[in-house]
Structures are given as structure tokens and as C-alpha cells.
Amino acid sequence: METTRHQRKIVHENGYAAEVDVDLIINDDAWSPYLSLEDATKLDNVRRALLRGDVVGASKLAKVFRLLPVNAA
């Protein structure tokens, strides 16, 4: 029996973090849980966009946040 579970994966590159919505495929296979090819490609595309500084492109596939350092006192 195969089921899917919605999950958000976090990708972070170049001072940005992106929440990418994906579905985990769960079944009795030894590789379970795993991503569909489309979701794996989406994660790769978001990571590549952030690496080249294309925040607008990454935002089309994910929710993007800018990371700021926190100064500890």
C-alpha cells in the first residue's frame, strides 16, 4: 500500500532559506519514504536559484526568507 504525506523541506543557500512543499511517498519498499522526481527536481531548482541569487525565481517555487545573524550579548 502506498500513501503520501505532505512535508516542508528547508533549503538554505547564500543567506536565504526556502520552505519547499513536497509530498513524501511512503510504502513497503526499502527506500521508503522518498520524493517523487518532480518534488526532487523542485528542491534542486530552488537550491540552484538561491545559489545564483535569483530570489524571484526561487519564490515562484517556495516561500523564501532572508537569514540574518543574531548577535549574542
pLDDT tens-place string over residues 5-55: 999 999 999 999 999 999 999 998 888 899 999 999 999 999 999 999 999
Q: Does the residue 47 lie in any domain?
A: yes
Instruction: Answer whether residue 72 is part of any domain.
Output: no
Instruction: Tell me if 53 is assigned to some domain.
Output: yes
Residue-wise pLDDT for 41-69, tens only, equals: 999 999 999 999 999 999 999 999 999 98
**Separation CA 65–CA 39 (nearest Å):** 20
Domain membership of residue 50 (yes or no) is: yes
Q: Look up residue 51 and give its amino acid.
A: L
CA atoms within 13 Å, Cβ hemisphere of 41 = 3
Does residue 10 lie within any of the structural domains? yes
Question: In this structure, is residue 71 part of a structural domain?
Answer: no
Domain range for 9: 3-66
DSSP class of 60: T
**Count of structural domains, the chain:** 1
